[in-house]
């Protein structure tokens, strides 16, 4: 087996969680040999298009982090860097932020702070190292409702309250939570309802603890995806784009903590990758970072959020008709693609490129080439592996919840471009009667373009397991099928942001009042001292 050598050199799928080896025939959702055929053909086409250029590409180095480095980076990303290191101290903002976390979210933060603290002690850094128990002591007094809308109950699953995940004894401390009835027990949610009111990790923990929680694997023979839906909410649902940028920053921090908490509960490792910066092109169309492309496009079309070339290629494909058989699957001629590519680089921005020369299959090949040639993957270096790992989560609902949180973690440019791509792919599928491109076919053809990334060295996915290929195709299928749900901000996160804002405003008011009072006291003291001095003079 050579599964250790693909994309990011991680060994993914040697064993299922219960220890049984995967076998080729029974891969997830029984994606049959015929449909997998599209996947392997697509990989061949990719290599053919890449041709000799492949050797010239600069491999993007993914740095192997030192001990504790990942956790330190994670805390910084979550906006909690002041819990350790030179800057450690009680920032009011952090106190407010921590007070709004759910039990499982607190457990996730606590686990990372513990690791960083131990690493720092080992390195004997001359920093003030807070005890993880002190960080949460502030909340211990404020028992009561937690932000996921549920009554407090224990964080640790009932198996063993005093053991950490690796089975070693953990510190005995409470996060100010009491044993209570699971909030899910009297929830009228059906299996296909996506409950956005209660933290996903809390739902997973409760499922694990309850007798219902014999989590069935999401594999099996069904090739139909469940009809997941959002139950009607009187207050409406919050979509990405509805919130102000400063609130989206808070959403990012909470989504990162929530996703980590969910993976912790489900026993799946969540690791962000870190790319070492490489030199990239600072102009052009193909192989240019999204941010650079948008910068140059906004000079032409102010306010544009999607690269113009990307928009134009989709428009070109749709202009012909989406009923063409084998659309996206049948490639353009490799040599033509190469020369069109060079011509576009030279003439696209001048407006002198002749689009009549571009056949529909050429435009589709150029669109896929654009995605593959991005210097960092569309799903980002940090989260590409996490997107792939979604396939390892126990239930389809949890896979969907993880994808929802991952979409919230993508930078705006990547998220907007991905949205336009998924909407386009759905329109292609809507014509499946004529073009013979079903959801499964489109997912098979697109997965190698999004998940096999040239930058991580020469060993790509085809040297890995068959099941890895089927897995990424499944993740692709999920993203297309449930795209409307994925761009929703879960209500429990919106409530946490709201609570943070309210608490911050209260604290600001108190601070203002305190400053005013101190000023008045200082003024009165001065006045009093002056009056005392006068008679003596």
In this predicted structure, which of 96-110, 144-158, 293-307 has the lowest mean pLDDT?
Answer: 144-158
- Per-residue pLDDT, 169: 40
The pLDDT tens digits of the residues spanning 273-282 come to 776 667 777 7
One-character DSSP codes across 291-360: HHHHHHHHHHSTT--S-HHHHHHHHHHHHH-TT-TTTTTSPPPHHHHHHHHHHHHHHTTTT---GGG--H
Is pLDDT above 50 for 251?
Answer: yes
Q: Which residue shows structure tokens 């006068």?
A: 534
Is pLDDT above 50 for 55?
Answer: no
More confident residue, 225 or 465: 225
Chain CA centroid to CA 172, Å: 32
Nearest to 141 by CA among 91, 96, 99, 104: 99
- Per-residue pLDDT, 232: 73
pLDDT band at 454 (very low <50, low <70, confident <90, very high): low
The pLDDT tens digits of the residues spanning 92-128 come to 667 778 888 888 888 888 888 888 888 877 776 555 5
Yes or no: say if 477 and 30 are a contact pair by the CB < 8 Å rule. no
Yes or no: say if 205 and 265 are a contact pair by the CB < 8 Å rule. yes
What does the buried/exposed string (b/e) look like for 189-199 if buried means 16 or more CB atoms within 10 Å of the residue's CB? eeeeebbbbbb
- Per-residue pLDDT, 148: 44
**Helix 308-320 vs helix 290-300: crossing angle, to nearest 10:** 80
Q: Which residue shows structure tokens 């697509």?
A: 42
Mean pLDDT across the stretch 153-182?
Answer: 37
- Per-residue pLDDT, 460: 45
pLDDT band at 209 (very low <50, low <70, confident <90, very high): low
Query: In the chain, what are the domain boundaries?
Result: 64-83+91-123+195-204+229-270+490-532, 276-489
Mean pLDDT across the stretch 449-456?
Answer: 71
Mean pLDDT across the stretch 122-135?
Answer: 59
pLDDT band at 212 (very low <50, low <70, confident <90, very high): very low
Mean pLDDT across the stretch 338-349?
Answer: 91
Q: What are phi and psi of 62, to 5 degrees?
A: -100, 120
- Per-residue pLDDT, 96: 78
- Per-residue pLDDT, 127: 53
Quickly name the fold that domain 276-489 has. Phosphatidylinositol 3-kinase; Chain A (1.10.555)
Is pLDDT above 80 for 522?
Answer: yes
- Per-residue pLDDT, 91: 61
- Per-residue pLDDT, 425: 95
- Per-residue pLDDT, 171: 38
Is pLDDT above 80 for 403?
Answer: yes
Which two three-digit tokens encode residue 379?
A: 């799903």
- Cβ within 8 Å of residue 355, ≥6 positions away: 312, 316
Q: Across the chain, what does the average pLDDT equal?
A: 74
Calpha distance 45→332 (Å, rounded): 9
Is pLDDT above 90 for 137?
Answer: no
The pLDDT tens digits of the residues spanning 58-84 come to 555 566 566 677 888 888 888 887 776
């Amino acid at each position: 087996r050579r599964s250790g050598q693909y994309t990011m050199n991680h060994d993914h799928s040697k064993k299922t969680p219960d220890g049984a080896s995967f076998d080729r025939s029974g891969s997830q959702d029984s994606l049959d040999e015929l449909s997998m055929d599209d996947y392997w053909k697509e990989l061949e086409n990719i290599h053919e298009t890449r041709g000799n250029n492949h050797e010239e590409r600069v491999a993007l180095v993914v740095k192997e982090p030192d001990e504790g480095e990942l956790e330190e980076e994670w805390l910084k990303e979550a906006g909690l860097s002041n819990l350790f290191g030179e800057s450690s101290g009680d920032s009011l903002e952090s106190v407010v932020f921590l007070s709004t976390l759910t039990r499982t979210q607190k457990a996730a933060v606590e686990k990372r702070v513990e690791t960083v603290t131990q690493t720092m002690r080992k390195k004997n850094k001359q920093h003030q190292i807070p005890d993880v128990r002190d960080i949460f002591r502030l909340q211990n007094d404020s028992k009561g409702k937690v932000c996921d809308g549920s009554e407090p109950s224990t964080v640790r699953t009932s198996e063993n309250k005093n053991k950490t995940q690796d089975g070693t004894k953990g510190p005995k401390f409470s996060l100010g939570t009491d044993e209570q009835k699971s909030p899910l027990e009297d929830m009228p949610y059906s299996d296909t309802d996506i409950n956005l009111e209660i933290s996903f990790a809390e739902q997973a923990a409760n499922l694990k603890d309850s007798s219902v929680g014999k989590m069935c694997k999401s594999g099996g023979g069904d090739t139909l995806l469940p009809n997941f839906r959002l139950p009607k909410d009187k207050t409406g649902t919050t979509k990405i784009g509805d919130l102000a940028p400063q609130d989206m920053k808070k959403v990012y921090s909470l989504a990162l903590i929530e996703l980590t908490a969910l993976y912790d509960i489900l026993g799946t490792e969540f690791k962000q990758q870190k790319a070492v910066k490489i030199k990239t092109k600072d102009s052009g169309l193909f192989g240019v970072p999204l941010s650079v492309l948008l910068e140059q496009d906004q000079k032409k079309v102010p306010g544009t959020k999607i690269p113009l070339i990307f928009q134009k290629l989709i428009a070109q494909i749709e202009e012909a008709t989406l009923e063409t058989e084998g659309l996206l699957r049948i490639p353009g001629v490799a040599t033509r693609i190469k020369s069109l590519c060079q011509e576009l680089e030279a003439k696209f921005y001048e407006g002198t490129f002749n689009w009549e020369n571009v056949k529909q299959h050429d435009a589709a090949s150029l669109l896929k080439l654009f995605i593959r040639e991005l210097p960092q993957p569309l799903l980002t270096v940090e989260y590409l592996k996490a997107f792939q790992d979604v396939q390892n989560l126990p239930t389809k609902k949890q896979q969907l919840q993880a994808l929802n949180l991952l979409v919230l973690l993508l930078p705006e440019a990547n998220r907007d471009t991905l949205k336009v791509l998924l909407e386009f792919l759905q329109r292609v599928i809507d014509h499946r009667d004529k073009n013979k491109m079903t959801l499964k076919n489109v997912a098979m053809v697109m997965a190698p373009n999004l998940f096999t990334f040239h930058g991580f060295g020469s060993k790509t996915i085809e040297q890995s397991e068959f099941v890895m290929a089927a897995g990424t195709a499944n993740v692709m299928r999920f993203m297309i099928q449930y795209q409307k749900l994925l761009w929703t901000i879960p209500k429990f996160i919106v409530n946490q942001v709201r609570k943070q804002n309210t608490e911050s405003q209260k604290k600001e008011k108190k601070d203002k009042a305190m400053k005013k009072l101190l000023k008045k006291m200082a003024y009165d003291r001065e006045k009093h001292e002056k009056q005392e001095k006068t008679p003596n003079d």
